[in-house]
Amino acid sequence: MLQQPLLAQPKSDWELAQEERDWREGEFALPAYPKPADLVPLEVGAATDFRFFVDATSLSVGRDGVVRYTLVARSRSGAENVSFEGIRCKSGRVRAYAFGQGGARWSARGTPWRAIEPGGAQRWHFILWREYFCPHAIAIRDVAEGVDALRRGGHPDAPRADMFSR
């Protein structure tokens, strides 16, 4: 008699909620403040007056499933907002750990985790999550994969941008 292979059953809503309750964030350290030579441009669409960059040297992938990075948002006049952030790939949540202060140091005043909204005012988080660091809600394997996605203009396994409104 041939045995049929066991097929994995999808997790129930209760199991998924329990995983979320049991999740614990891992340890991390603030990276060095970003240098202009380490910034990789990030395309987020034409509907913003800011240009966005990710500091490639700050990118990390935690065992907790969080991809951490430094984001630089630069206005047309040259003013910059700098933040060190993390994205929980599995749950599609984002938070800031620290903000740039005085153009050379961090102010560690973080924000709580919040859901990433596809059409929200900060759509760059959705783009980073979906198209660069967490294709199909699965974290990149390592820093090299993330830097490659940034340099290519998106992860090769990511759903294409035209599937989602920007």
d(CA 39, CA 37): 6
User: How many structural domains compose the chain?
Assistant: 1
Residue 158 within any structural domain of the chain = yes
pTM across the whole model? 0.83
Residue 6 within any structural domain of the chain = no
- Domain of residue 38 covers 34-163
- pLDDT given for residue 84 in this prediction: 97
Residue 19 within any structural domain of the chain = no
- Which residue type occupies 65? G
- pLDDT given for residue 165 in this prediction: 45
- pLDDT given for residue 93 in this prediction: 94
Residue 62 belongs to domain with CATH number: 2.40.128
Regions in the chain scoring below 70 on pLDDT: 1-8, 11, 16-17, 46-47, 160-166
